[in-house]
Chains A and B, each alone.
Chain A
Amino acid sequence: MKNVLVNLEHISKSYDGQMVLDDLNLYIRENEFLTLLGPSGCGKTTTLRILGGFETPDKGRVVFEGADITNLPPNKRQLNTVFQKYALFTHMNIAENIAFGLKIKNKSKAYIDDKIKYALKLVNLDGFEKRMPNSLSGGQQQRIAIARAIVNEPKLLLLDEPLGALDLKLRQDMQYELIRLKNELGITFIYVTHDQEEALTMSDTIVVMNQGYIQQIGTPERIYNEPENAFVADFIGESNIIGATMIEDRLVEILGARFACVDEGFGRNKPVDVVIRPEDVELTKNPADGTIQGVVSHVIFKGVHYEMEVQANGFEWLVHSTGMFPVGTNVGIKVDPFNIQIMNKPESEDEEAVGVNE
């Protein structure tokens, strides 16, 4: 396993009496692409600002390579930030923007010139030295902001929703660029976003946050396939979240019908939540072949697949399938045992916010 680069220990932060982060613990390994994912107000940006040195936590420590940097000002930290909406210096040209950090460190002119060339090449903007930031497109400005940060050779690069202001196509291109950059540079990336697709595409590790608490930490596959609670399941992708009863190990009763599953250890006759992804719901032509029966109530063509809604036992099932059943068709619903994800039911709203105990 690679070494731990940064450790956030028992971080708490509140603004005007409002708790934003509550006893947050998180470590980041070297050369990891870690994404903080969550809805606005979940504390992800505050976490990033604490790492960058723009906020001081009320409680807790930030440990960087073994040293406590909690009270170190931003200019003394060995990390750099790529800000939302680029934050380029509009009174300087591109070369001066990129050279800013290096000039402060009193690097030689030859070294700075080399670095500018290298950085512009890295972000595919060769020859842009003399341009002014405002004459560049959003995507170009963002790449300059990245170039400006990485010439300083930080150990850790913080990215605060850097692609948020770009259009879809550009965003997808930039996602590949970021992955390439991370692999070429060997820098640790901490990436903040509310876009689950972005998180799934780029990350080695995703940290799902809500209301100041970490909900789940895991690889994209794990977060998607095995969400630990309803919040994670709902936030990452689309899903059918249904209240159910765990009859015994490997058997769950959903909407009155018994489904085989693979989970164990929940106890007997225990209320649980189940998550079934829309693409995991199989519709059968012959209703009797399904575990439960329903009627198709909605069909939308989405390009890659059809999105259908099926009314069955009082629940509206969301189904993604390449095969189409017209509205009004009686169908059966089947789910592979492996695709039924069982979660503990939260007992109160508070617990829902706390979610997992990591």
Chain B
Amino acid sequence: MNNKRKLLSIPYLLWAIVFIIIPLFMVVYYGITDKTGAFTFANIAAIATAEHGKALWLSVLLSFMSTVVCLLLAYPLAMILSKMNIASNSFLVLIFILPMWMNFLLRTLAWLSLLEKTGVINNILKFFGLPTMNIINTPGAIILGMVYNFLPFMIMPIYNALVKIDPNVINAARDLGAGPFKTFTKVIFPLSIPGVISGITMVFVPALTTFVISTILGGNKILLIGNVIELEFTTTGNWHLGSGLSMVLMVFIVISMILTAIFDKDGEGSML
């Protein structure tokens, strides 16, 4: 019985080795060697150069701002959703998840045609004789793209955490003298923290590593760390530098994962 089970796991194990473990080791190998194959820390240390440091800093800043905006938008919405009855609730949830069924690239390109200098928004403004806006190729456009694409990943874990709270626990807080505000700060919010942490991780990590959103909505004017790495692999062809920078980024991701593991023991984030 036990042996049979072990046999059954072999294809998955092979898959994991060939497509996950080996590539990971290759990234590490490239990251700590130079073109001659000699050991070096230069590729990792390259993050400290002005150009790369700026890209990383901008990435962290924009991802952080997107995460904050997502949290501020998602929390009230998740609360409203969690208080609705099942029938209308599932329809509303669907509306917010629906964009996720569309291709990620397509969604982002749609924003391009909306925000462009000669795009839909500016055409409408022109039609009414209003001055046109310069939105595309700004950090704001990138944040907009990040929020739009990653918002559902913030809503879902928070929603899951909120619906899990026993209504009687909230009633108990009211019963013991807490008004609506105290009930929220002392009971509802603390109990939803696992969902909030999950949501933050699920928005912050992809936002930090994205290069598609910044390429499309930032033109070539704004380089994020994701773009820098992408360029090293595709244009410059310096796999060693690209791998070294990827490893630095991985540290951020691992930290996020650890935070999630500590705070989200119920797996609110795993529902997606």
Interface of A toward B, CB cutoff 8 Å: 52-54, 73-75, 80-81, 83-85, 87-91, 100-101, 104-105, 148-149, 152
Complex: chain A residue closest to B189, CB-CB: A91
- Could you say which residues of chain A place their CB within 8 Å of the CB of B173? 89, 100
Q: How far is the CB of A115 from chain B (nearest CB, A)?
A: 13
Contact mask B179-191 → A, CB, 8 Å, 1/0? 1001000110011
**B126 close to chain A: CB less than 8 A:** no
Q: How far is the CB of A104 from chain B (nearest CB, A)?
A: 4
**B21 close to chain A: CB less than 8 A:** no
Would you call B191 and A81 a contact (CB within 8 A)? no
Cα A83 to Cα B178 with chains together (Å): 16
Cα A291 to Cα B179 with chains together (Å): 67
Known A54-B171, A90-B169, A104-B176; 19 more pairs at CB < 8 Å:
A73-B174, A73-B179, A74-B174, A85-B168, A88-B169, A89-B169, A89-B172, A89-B187, A90-B191, A91-B193, A100-B173, A100-B178, A100-B186, A101-B176, A104-B182, A105-B177, A148-B172, A149-B175, A152-B177
- Could you say which residues of chain A place their CB within 8 Å of the CB of B187? 89
- Could you say which residues of chain A place their CB within 8 Å of the CB of B177? 75, 101, 104-105, 152
What are 10 sample pairs from A and B whose C-beta atoms fall under 8 A apart? Answer: A74-B174, A75-B178, A80-B176, A81-B171, A89-B191, A91-B190, A100-B173, A101-B177, A104-B176, A104-B182
Cα A111 to Cα B78 with chains together (Å): 39
Would you call B172 and A81 a contact (CB within 8 A)? yes
Q: How far is the CB of B187 from chain A (nearest CB, A)?
A: 6
Residue from B175, B177, B186, B187 with most neighbouring chain A CB atoms (10 Å): B175
Would you call A87 and B169 a contact (CB within 8 A)? yes
- Could you say which residues of chain B place their CB within 8 Å of the CB of A85? 166, 168
Given contacts A87-B166, A87-B169, A104-B182, whether A75 and B175 have CB atoms under 8 Å apart is yes
Would you call A81 and B190 a contact (CB within 8 A)? no
Cα A70 to Cα B76 with chains together (Å): 30
Complex: chain A residue closest to B183, CB-CB: A75
How many residue pairs link A and B with beta carbons under 8 A? The number is 62
Q: How far is the CB of B178 from chain A (nearest CB, A)?
A: 5
Partner of A83, one of B171, B179, B190, B193: B171
Cα A53 to Cα B179 with chains together (Å): 13
Would you call A80 and B168 a contact (CB within 8 A)? no
Q: How far is the CB of A214 from chain B (nearest CB, A)?
A: 25
Residue from A52, A54, A74, A149 with most neighbouring chain B CB atoms (10 Å): A74
Would you call B168 and A52 a contact (CB within 8 A)? no
Given contacts A75-B177, A104-B177, A105-B177, whether A83 and B182 have CB atoms under 8 Å apart is no
Cα A83 to Cα B170 with chains together (Å): 11
Partner of B174, one of A75, A88, A89, A105: A75
Given contacts A91-B190, A104-B182, whether A80 and B175 have CB atoms under 8 Å apart is yes
- Could you say which residues of chain B place their CB within 8 Å of the CB of A90? 169, 191
Complex: chain B residue closest to A158, CB-CB: B175
- Could you say which residues of chain B place their CB within 8 Å of the CB of A75? 174-179
Would you call B168 and A148 a contact (CB within 8 A)? no
Cα A57 to Cα B178 with chains together (Å): 22
- Could you say which residues of chain A place their CB within 8 Å of the CB of B178? 75, 100, 104
Complex: chain A residue closest to B174, CB-CB: A74
Cα A149 to Cα B182 with chains together (Å): 18
Cα A52 to Cα B175 with chains together (Å): 7
Would you call A87 and B171 a contact (CB within 8 A)? yes
Residues 135-189 of B at the A interface (beta carbon under 8 Å): 166, 168-169, 171-179, 182, 186-187
Residue from B168, B171, B176, B191 with most neighbouring chain A CB atoms (10 Å): B176
Would you call A87 and B176 a contact (CB within 8 A)? no
Cα A80 to Cα B178 with chains together (Å): 12
Residues 182-227 of B at the A interface (beta carbon under 8 Å): 182, 186-187, 190-191, 193
Q: How far is the CB of B139 from chain A (nearest CB, A)?
A: 37
Complex: chain B residue closest to A103, CB-CB: B186
- Could you say which residues of chain B place their CB within 8 Å of the CB of A80? 175-176
Q: How far is the CB of A349 from chain B (nearest CB, A)?
A: 31
Complex: chain B residue closest to A77, CB-CB: B175
Complex: chain A residue closest to B179, CB-CB: A75
Residue from A84, A87, A149 with most neighbouring chain B CB atoms (10 Å): A87
- Could you say which residues of chain B place their CB within 8 Å of the CB of A88? 169, 172
Cα A152 to Cα B182 with chains together (Å): 17
- Could you say which residues of chain B place their CB within 8 Å of the CB of A89? 169, 172-173, 187, 191
Q: How far is the CB of A161 from chain B (nearest CB, A)?
A: 11
Cα A54 to Cα B175 with chains together (Å): 9
Of all A-B residue pairs in the complex, the 3 with the closest CB atoms, nearest first, are: A101-B176, A87-B168, A74-B174
Complex: chain A residue closest to B170, CB-CB: A87
- Could you say which residues of chain B place their CB within 8 Å of the CB of A54? 171, 174
- Could you say which residues of chain A place their CB within 8 Å of the CB of B168? 83-85, 87
- Could you say which residues of chain A place their CB within 8 Å of the CB of B169? 87-90
Would you call A74 and B191 a contact (CB within 8 A)? no
Q: How far is the CB of A293 from chain B (nearest CB, A)?
A: 56
Complex: chain B residue closest to A54, CB-CB: B171
Q: How far is the CB of A106 from chain B (nearest CB, A)?
A: 10
Cα A84 to Cα B187 with chains together (Å): 18
Cα A171 to Cα B118 with chains together (Å): 74
Q: How far is the CB of B103 from chain A (nearest CB, A)?
A: 40
Complex: chain A residue closest to B182, CB-CB: A104
- Could you say which residues of chain B place their CB within 8 Å of the CB of A104? 176-178, 182
Cα A87 to Cα B186 with chains together (Å): 14
Q: How far is the CB of B113 from chain A (nearest CB, A)?
A: 46
Complex: chain A residue closest to B176, CB-CB: A101
Q: How far is the CB of A81 from chain B (nearest CB, A)?
A: 5
